[in-house]
Structures are given as C-alpha cells and as structure tokens.
A and B are shown apart, each in its own frame.
Chain A
C-alpha cells in the first residue's frame, strides 16, 4: 500500500466498487427493520420480523440443519485439505505433481452447477438416499480446495529446516509435524475452516442438487419462500446470514494473514 495515493479517481473507483457490492446488501438489511408487511414499502423502523423469525419453525429447522452441515463439512474439508496441502508442499517431487496441484484447485473454478450435477449422478448411481450426508459430501468437495490453497500458501512460506531441526532433535517425522509444523500453520488452518464453514452455510446450488426431501438448508428455504414473494421475515433471515458470513470471512482473513505468528 506504500505506493497508494488517494487521488479523486482512486476514491471514486473505490466508492463505486464498494457501492456495487454493498448497496444491495444494505437494502436487505435496511428492509429487515421495516415495520411494513410489504417488503418494498417503507413503514417505519421495527424489529418485529426478527421476533417473527423465532416463531418460524421451518426456517429455524433449516437454519439448524445448515449449521450442522456447515460444521461437519468444514471439519472434513479442513482435515482433508490440510493433508493435501502438506502432501503438495512437503512431498518429494513426483511425476504429475503439478497436475495434482491443478486438480486440487479444479472445484474452485468448476461451475457449481456442473459439480452439483455430477455429484447428483454419482449419488443416484450409488443408490444413496439424498439428505444430510450427501450435502456434507458436496460441500466438503468444494471447500476442500479452498482450505488446501490457504494452508499451502502458509506452508510454502515456512522454512522447511524447521521440521528438519525437530527431526534432528529426536522427534519422529509425525511428532515433528504435530509439534512444529501444525502450530505454525494453525492460523491458516483455522482460517480455512471458517471459509469452508461460510461456503457451506451460504451454498444454494450444490445443496439443491445433493439434498433430498426432508433436508432443506437455510438458503434453500429462503429461496423457495422468496418464490412466493419477498417477505420482511426473509430479509431478517438474510441479514443474519450476512452478519454470520462477515464474521466468518473476517475471522478467516485475520487468521490467514501472511506472516502471522501462532
């Protein structure tokens, strides 16, 4: 940021970009405090829709399901993604390592519709009942790639001699990893977990393909109720999701900041 100067042009582009990103969100948040029953007509300030949320059984159920799916899939993605990152960073060069690295990243760029469709085909072919676990698998697939990228970046800036020093001092390779490498990449692992949680919690596309009757996530519930018309209650639910997502992303950004000490 040392070269940055706040010229009027820079300030204008920043304002424009931020407006583009956040005006719609701010509208949702603003209208969630709307006293009027009509979603788009302002009728004074009220928190009645937040109170109404607490009374909405299906919505609460969907939110609880989304939280459980997000926790489980983020945990799985964090473990698998961290292991993949370690293999890619520490493993000796093997033929096709670059290809493997590329393949790990693929879910990030693959259109979600494609990922969702292929998972649906797989679940149907295997004869699995779609529900909680199929959504978990779908979300793990997506989030794993992000965790790998974050942890790999941290591992690459770590001096490989640290682990060698631990081994030289009598630690087995596993003990060296647990006592030296893992504590040093822990912030990135935690950041990866939070990002994975957000990805799962916010996802609509993959969940729509992978879930079945009886397993409706919060975004699915919101989406289907919006088709019947936007209610202030949905605005309130969406505002809470925005809050949760910002908290998680903010946490992830702080934790995976380069050069951060454990």
Chain B
C-alpha cells in the first residue's frame, strides 16, 4: 500500500494536471502560477494556512472559478472552461450543503437524477451508497434530524454516488468534534483505499493532512511550496514556512564553515565547536553562507553522563517543563540565551527546572534551510 504514494503511482499518468494556473480576485492573487499533477488513485492533501489559496484551487478544479491564466487538464483533455455540472468530479462541501427539503436517500440520489439510469439502477445505487456509509436505517430522515457525523457521511455518499473520477473534500473533518475527527480520518482513508477513487482534500490542519494523505501539497500565499509524502515534507521541508507549518521546529541560524563526506560543519550559537549537519540535497551552500539549521524537538536527545565528545553536544538550562504523558516537553536556554524546544521521552526524569543538562542530535536529524 505504501508504494502507491511512491513509485507505482508516479509511473501512472496524471489524472489531473494544473498547468501554470493563476487566479486573481480584484488585486489579490489567490493562486499564483501554480502547477501540480494529481495522480490517479492517490490521496492528496492541499495543506496551508487560511487564505493561502487552497480553497480557490478546489473551486478551480470543481469549475466554480475559471483561472485567469493557465490550463486544467483531465487525462490530457483541457477542461479549463468546462462548466461544473459536466466535470466528472464531485465536491464534499465543508458545510456539507445537504438539501434540507430532501430525505437522506433523496440527497444521496440527487446526482443520479441527471445520469441516464433506470429507476431501479438509481435505487440500487442509493442503497449501495447508504450501505457504504452505514446509514441504511436513516434513509427516510431529513438532514436536520440526524447528527453531525451522520450528515458528514450523507455528504460523502452523495458525492460518491456518481462515481466521480476525483472526489474533492473541503475541510472534511473541521465540522466534527475532536474524537469523531480521528475516527472519521481513519474511515476516510480506508474508504479511499477500498474504492480506489482519487481523493483531494483541503485542510489547514497538519495533523489531519499527515494522518490521511499519501501526498501533501503545501501552499503558501497562492504558491505551491512543496509536494511530497508526509514523511518527506516533515523530515525534509523545502523551506522555513513548511518546516514550521508542519509541527514544531527549532530554527538555529549559523554559518557554513566547510563540508566533508556529505556533512556540513556549521558554526552555531549552540556551542563553541561547530555542529555537523547532513548536507541538503539539491542545494549546495558555499563556505561562509548564512543558513538555518532546522531541528525538530523530538530529534534532540538528552545525553546521559558526561559524553563530552559526542558530536553535536551542547549544554542548556531547563527553564520549563510540561509533562504530557506520552512526551515531556522542555524549554531549554542555550549558551547565547535563546530558547529551544525539546520533546523528550516519557521516561525522562521530571522536576529538573533550573538544572543544566547536556543535549545532542545526530547529523542526519537536522535539516539545512536557506
């Protein structure tokens, strides 16, 4: 299953390609010269803060907005100007947009009215969809007589009933309460794997994106910043924005001294001797360049004993600790007075605020950013 996100899907032709798409609203640039290929059968998540243009991108795909420049191709066919009701893709709206005057079954069957199906075929398809989302008992209820989680499933069944090539999900979990959200996330992923339909979700929640998607496309101010598997995006962020948007990160500025064997020696305020960091792929900082060392809190370890000659070891004073059960979050102050976040394991001793400890990280745990 994992290789769907990697090689197998990559070899397949893209289902939809956005080719240098630009969309303006007045003077505001909502989508800025964006190119992206969506592979057949993948679960792609458009991730970004509010106002980054991800919702506009969804509306462009659905056909509710027309780009000012660029093309949208569906299996090589230009659908840029095709009206939304002719596109073989469906949206699950954030508000669900269920028709309040129709029953659950009639909502699910609404999209089938416009397909050349017999009455019996329509009825069977509705029954099948209701079974898929386990709502057979509620078929005759009105949308205002069912719970929020059930409404979400009706919206999902309605959007899938036409067997779209691509399902667009606009913030699919935002309207649900926290506990239901995690459960639904798993269900959505399982459903997508079962149906093999291409899913594209939009979210501002990085946890949601990491938990569902095969591939994450991070957007910032109308541009696509990075697209890759959750692991790639998290561990090798393309820039500071991606690094800090996906989870927590410590950014430490430094100067490159030299490089050797794929390692850079970077002078940082952490300690007197330079730290060793794996050289970034595709970029080659020269000696003397100013860079940022991105270090995830959970990749910093507490060193026991003296271990003075461990690479990338430095001393720091614990200024605050927060025990969260699974992890112990520490705020530590390093030599130059700046603060770092450290996420230590649950077995770490607590009650050490004010003490100085030794910390370290592996050269491969840090990333060099411009």
Contact = CB atoms under 8 A, between A and B. Distances in A.
Interface residues of A, number: 21
Given A170-B111, A170-B114, A170-B115, A165 B97 contact: yes
Given A164-B64, A165-B91, A175-B114, A170 B97 contact: no
B99 A162 contact: yes
Contact of A171 (B62, B91, B113): B113
B245 interface: no
A183 B142 CA distance: 15
B111 A161 contact: no
Contact of B85 (A167, A261, A262): A167
Contact of A169 (B64, B83, B114): B114
Interface in A145-192: 159, 161-162, 164-173, 175-176, 179-180, 183-184
A69 B33 CA distance: 60
Interface in A83-123: none
A210 B111 CA distance: 49
Interface in A167-221: 167-173, 175-176, 179-180, 183-184
Contact of A167 (B84, B101, B113): B84
A159 B99 contact: no
A178 B113 CA distance: 13
A24 to B, nearest CB: 42
A175 B97 CA distance: 17
A169 B90 contact: yes
B162 interface: yes
A161 B95 contact: yes
B100 interface: yes
Nearest to A162: B97
A183 B83 CA distance: 24
Contacts of B93: 161, 164-165
Interface string B87-107: 000110101010111000000
Given A161-B93, A168-B91, A170-B85, A184 B100 contact: yes
A185 to B, nearest CB: 11
Given A170-B114, A171-B85, A171-B113, A262 B101 contact: yes
Contact of B162 (A161, A162, A170, A184): A170
A206 to B, nearest CB: 37
Interface string B103-139: 0000000110111000000000000000000000000
Pick from A166, A168, A170, A184 the residue with the most CB of B within 10 Å. A168
A262 to B, nearest CB: 4
B100 A169 contact: no
Given A161-B95, A168-B84, A261 B114 contact: no
A159 B95 contact: yes
Contacts of A162: 97, 99
A162 to B, nearest CB: 5
Given A169-B114, A169-B158, A261 B91 contact: no
B85 A180 contact: no
Contacts of A173: 85
Contacts of B101: 180, 183-184, 261-262
B110 A169 contact: yes
Contacts of A179: 110, 113
B92 to A, nearest CB: 9
A79 to B, nearest CB: 21
Contacts of A167: 83-85
B85 A172 contact: yes
B60 to A, nearest CB: 13
A174 to B, nearest CB: 10
Nearest to B168: A168
Given A184-B101, A261-B100, A168 B114 contact: no
B90 A166 contact: no
A176 B97 CA distance: 13
B110 to A, nearest CB: 5
A37 B219 CA distance: 86
A166 B99 contact: yes
Contact of B97 (A161, A172, A262): A161
Interface string B122-164: 0000000000000000000000100000000000001100100
B114 A171 contact: yes
Contacts of B62: 168
Contacts of B114: 169-171, 175
A183 to B, nearest CB: 5
B13 to A, nearest CB: 25
Given A167-B85, A168-B90, A170-B162, A180 B99 contact: yes
Q: Which 6 A-B pairs have the closest CB atoms?
A: A169-B111, A170-B114, A165-B97, A161-B97, A262-B101, A167-B85
Interface of A: 159, 161-162, 164-173, 175-176, 179-180, 183-184, 261-262
Interface of B: 62, 64, 83-85, 90-91, 93, 95, 97, 99-101, 110-111, 113-115, 144, 158-159, 162
22 contacts: A159-B97, A162-B97, A164-B93, A164-B97, A165-B91, A165-B93, A165-B99, A166-B110, A167-B84, A168-B85, A168-B91, A169-B85, A169-B90, A169-B114, A170-B115, A171-B85, A172-B85, A173-B85, A176-B85, A179-B113, A261-B100, A262-B100
Given A165-B93, A169-B162, A170-B113, 8 more contacts: A161-B93, A164-B97, A166-B110, A169-B158, A170-B114, A171-B113, A176-B85, A184-B101
